[in-house]
Amino acid sequence: VQLQASGGGLVQPGGSLRLSCVGSGDTFGNYGIGWFRQVPGKEREFVAAIRWSTGATLYADSVKGRFTISRERAKNTAHLQMNSLKAEDMAVYYCAARSRWLVGGMTKAPDYDYWGQGTLVTVSS
């Protein structure tokens, strides 16, 4: 599967953005789809994941209550709605996919098989 992430941009603190991740070459069916973010000099950090077949979700503690991951089945697209953005949310955001949901996993980069290109989220006034 190929992943295409989009939706990044410049937003003020407290603002919102919605990222999208479109899959092509395969349908997400039984996949797990995740979002990670990375800032220079740091490891890629888990943000959220969704189990495509059931809609079950996982979130990093740092984004719980502010970010929402969702699926749009007809378009084979995952979204990450980001509200109440903070300066510390600024990063390059990546979407990732694993062909089968890993029970007890899905929060580490090595759990994923496929990666999209990043989309930059800048939070600044």
Mean pLDDT of 64-74: 97
Give the model's confidence band at 105: pLDDT under 50 very low, under 70 low, under 90 confident, else very high.
very high
Q: What is the DSSP letter of 110?
A: G
**Which tens digits make up the pLDDT trace of 40-61?**
999 999 999 999 999 999 999 9
- Residue 55 main-chain phi, psi, to 5 deg: 85, 5
Structural tokens at position 119: 């989309």
Which residue type does 30 have?
A: N
pLDDT for 16: 98
Angle at 22 between CA 90 and CA 56, to 5 degrees: 80
pLDDT value of position 69: 98
Pair 7, 102: CB distance under 8 Å: no
